[in-house]
Structure 1
């Protein structure tokens, strides 16, 4: 379970980093959404840090920067990155589901679902189709 939680933590930290780059390319109301998403990822990150501490586990230190899958230079690429990040977070939380207790499973499912919903909203704003994934959190 610690390995899966550490991967979820890494995904949350990557999302926090990415939203700093995403937000500067969005319109005013979209920037508000990006700030809200970043804040939610920060809260989930903090919960994961506490949970790993409870388990007496540690995660690898986060890097000073993250390799992005493509350059973010405008609104279109920023929205694509937001989709990419949220899909990645959903995938990270999906693998937590089978290794947790009932209470933790509910939290992991909520995190996965929230990311899938945000990805869908970003797809809609960017005109990216399909709007949803058949199995949110599943790679490919």
Structure 2
């Protein structure tokens, strides 16, 4: 893949921005995860978001563009415990779903669409797990990533 249309490039930059935020938020979440399964899930999610962030950055570089940098911090509101942390994680996963769905809809190249589908699927799966952990029903959304 060498070139990106303007629409695909913007969508990929937005998805990368969501991944930057997710990595930051999951780092914060480590301070509030108290249950072993939650701590493990936070660590796994952090690895997946780093992988997707790195992949998005490389795709942008391969297209001859400069990827946007992460912000030094992100406004998450007040996080006081594991429950409020999970609500923030749900928001960040939703943002990632929206970003990757946009890439999927605008991507012209198979590699870009595969990455977008991976990002959308893994983020939707994680969000479902967080909803179930928080006791929310239904656990899954009908159309993940729909703004």
Match of 1:35 in 2: 43
- State whether residues 61 and 67 of structure 2, in contact with CA within 8 Å, keep that contact through their aligned partners in structure 1: no
Q: CA RMSD in A?
A: 1.2
TM-score normalised by length of structure 2: 0.88
Deviation sequence 1:66-125 (CA, Å, 0-9, x none) = 111x21110110111111111110110000012222332122112101100100000100
Give structure 1 stretches of 5+ with no counterpart: none
Q: Does residue 28 of structure 2 align to residue 21 of structure 1?
A: yes
Shift of 1:23: 2.2
Match of 2:75 in 1: 67
Shift of 1:59: 3.0
TM-score normalised by length of structure 1: 0.93
Q: Distance in 2 between matches of 1:84 and 1:55?
A: 30
Q: Does residue 85 of structure 2 align to residue 78 of structure 1?
A: yes
Q: Distance in 2 between matches of 1:61 and 1:111?
A: 19
